[in-house]
């Protein structure tokens, strides 16, 4: 089971996307655990993840997060997919990045 951790400004704005991602993963039979947190929790919650996804509103934190989580896969969620809460596209991207296609 893959662990997907999303980080945004306060951990709240991604809740709709998390719900849509869980639904999409269930539809395609992709076993994963998806949780959202505030970017302030990245050093605590990020190391357990298979992939760390940053909300577009905190994309400026990308380099900082990569430095805090060396060797970890860290990506910024596509702004359009985030804005439209397109959980299926985000799950497909995660699968592609992790080589789970």
User: Is 32 a catalytic site residue?
Assistant: no
Q: Which of 8, 34, 39, 52 is catalytic?
A: 8
Distance, CA of 62 to CA of 53 (rounded, Å): 10
For 12, 69, 80, the CA distances from 96, given in Å and listed in that order, are 26, 20, 18
Catalytic residues: 8
């Amino acid at each position: 089971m893959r662990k997907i951790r999303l980080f945004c400004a306060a951990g709240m704005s991604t809740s709709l996307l998390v719900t849509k991602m869980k639904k999409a993963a269930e539809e395609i039979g992709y076993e994963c655990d998806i949780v959202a947190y505030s970017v302030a929790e990245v050093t605590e919650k990020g190391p357990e993840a298979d992939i760390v996804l940053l909300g577009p509103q905190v994309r400026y934190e990308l380099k900082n997060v990569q430095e805090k989580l060396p060797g970890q896969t860290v990506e910024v969620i596509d702004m359009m997919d985030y804005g439209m809460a397109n959980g299926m596209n985000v799950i497909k991207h995660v699968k592609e990045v992790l080589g789970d296609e």
